[in-house]
Amino acid sequence: MAQLVYSSKINKIRSFALILIFVGFAFMYIGILTKKIDWLMALFFIIGLLFIVFSVVVYFWIGLFSVRAVSIICPSCEKPTKMLGRVDACMHCNQPLTLDKELEGKEFDEKYNKRKYKKEIKKQQNKDN
């Protein structure tokens, strides 16, 4: 059976930002290759610059997220990690983590972070009452 690997959200966003930087540099490199055509070189440089600017924005965004993230000690590898939302994975060992006692022992699912899911839970609770 194929096992799904969950990685920490902060790590995911971080790798995304890193990819953006590489894409940006790739565009600038193409720009250098096309330096014989002025407008094409300028175009590639602008696109490359946009990617890098976007990446900086994403890095800034991670910074904001990290502040809001909850710092915990991973029960699996005992290293300090940060988690976002109700469920997340450890940044070091990808151990699924939850802050919600109700979800403990349940299979890890990204849906627990979705607003729709929270609404459904509320609906159910209202029915029970």
How far is the CA of 14 from the CAs of 23, 50, 58, 114, 116, in angstroms? Answer: 14, 18, 8, 21, 26
Q: How far is the CB of 63 from Zn ion (least distance, A)?
A: 22
Q: How far is the CB of 71 from Zn ion (least distance, A)?
A: 13
Q: How far is the CB of 4 from Zn ion (least distance, A)?
A: 17
Minimum CB distance to Zn ion smaller for 95 or for 113? 95
Minimum CB distance to Zn ion smaller for 52 or for 74? 74
In DSSP notation, 85-110 reads SSEEE-TTT--EEES-GGGTTSPP-G
Minimum CB distance to Zn ion smaller for 66 or for 95? 95
C-alpha span between 43 and 46 (Å, rounded): 5
C-alpha span between 102 and 99 (Å, rounded): 9
Minimum CB distance to Zn ion smaller for 7 or for 113? 7
Q: How far is the CB of 34 from Zn ion (least distance, A)?
A: 46
Interacting residue ranges for Zn ion, rule: CB under 5 A? 74, 76-77, 90, 92-93, 95
